[in-house]
């Protein structure tokens, strides 16, 4: 089985997820942003659950507008380095790439086509 890739983009309005395996789209989701009572284990547990469901570790690309958005999910440290576990490996993408759009997912598809991980 090919390695699943999850592209995650948290913003102040939403948190978007785009999951592919071998270039084939499996999942698109738009979730609320982390709120004031957000449990920092929620995002890691979601990634672990997806990895267990797919029976393969995830390669996660986290694209965040600022450090606060990325570290609020509990998937990276305050220095911009992604966490690595048995279930997933997070790579934080440079926010200067200026990805746009909340609805089309074209920006996340471009990352996938570009061959990030």
Can you give the pLDDT at residue 103? 55
pLDDT in tens, 59-104: 999 987 666 566 778 888 877 788 899 999 999 886 565 545 445 6
Q: Is residue 9 part of a domain?
A: yes
Domain count within the chain: 1
Q: For residue 9, count CB atoms less than 10 angstroms from its CB and return exposed for 0-12, middle for 13-18, buried for 19 or more.
A: buried
Confidence of residue 115 (pLDDT cuts 50, 70, 90): low
Q: Is residue 54 part of a domain?
A: yes
pLDDT in tens, 27-66: 999 999 887 777 778 999 999 999 999 999 999 999 876 6
Q: Is residue 73 part of a domain?
A: yes
Q: Is residue 77 part of a domain?
A: yes
Q: Is residue 27 part of a domain?
A: no
Can you give the pLDDT at residue 17? 94
Distance in angstroms (rounded) separating the CA atoms of residues 7 and 109 = 9
Instruction: Give the domain extent around 110.
Output: 4-22+43-114
């Amino acid at each position: 089985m090919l390695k699943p890739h999850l592209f995650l983009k948290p913003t102040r309005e939403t948190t978007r997820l785009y999951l592919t395996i071998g270039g084939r789209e499996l999942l698109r989701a738009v979730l609320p942003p982390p709120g004031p009572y957000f449990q920092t284990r929620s995002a890691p547990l979601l990634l672990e659950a997806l990895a267990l469901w797919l029976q393969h570790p995830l390669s996660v690309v986290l694209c965040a507008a600022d450090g606060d958005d990325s570290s609020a999910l509990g998937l990276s440290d305050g220095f911009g380095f992604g966490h690595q576990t048995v279930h997933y490996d997070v790579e934080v993408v440079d926010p200067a790439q200026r990805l746009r759009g909340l609805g089309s997912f074209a920006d996340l598809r471009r990352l996938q086509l570009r061959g990030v991980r």
